[in-house]
Amino acid sequence: MLTSAANDTDIPERLQDLISSSSGPSAPALEREPTTADHFEAFLTGMGFTDGDARRGMLTKQIADIIRTQDKHETADELLRRYDPPAAFTSHADDQPEEPERPR
């Protein structure tokens, strides 16, 4: 094969089956590249935030807000669409609901 390349000639028929038909490593046709949300899912799972854990949504909202500061709005939107954090989330842990006034 090197001889054919050096001499600028075709590879002999008897050696054709030794070379691959594609120039790169073969990959399954249906396999897709993992998305940012897929990687984020692995992060959440690794942190111990299982499906149904409310902290997943809250952390996603916080991370999406940070991602937006880096002008990655599509990525932030993708995370929010996939994890749909609660609308009433606040990032201040010390916010407590006000106690109702007591009658005098």
Tens of pLDDT, residue by residue over 8-63, are 677 666 666 666 655 555 555 678 899 999 999 999 999 999 988 989 989 999 99
Is 100 within the bounds of a domain?
Answer: no
pLDDT digits (tens, 9 = 90+) for 61-88: 999 999 999 999 999 999 999 987 556 5
Kindly state whether residue 49 falls inside one of the protein's structural domains.
yes
Q: How many domains are contained in the chain?
A: 1
Helical H segments across the chain, by residue range = 2-7, 36-46, 54-69, 73-83
Q: Is residue 103 part of a domain?
A: no
Q: Is residue 1 one of the residues assigned to a domain? A: no
Q: Classify residue 79: in a domain, yes or no.
A: yes
**Would 102 be classed as within a structural domain?**
no
Whether residue 28 lies inside any domain: the answer is: no
- Whether residue 31 is contained in a domain is answered as no
3-state secondary structure 61-84: HHHHHHHHHCCCHHHHHHHHHHHC
Which domain covers residue 74, as residue numbers? 39-86
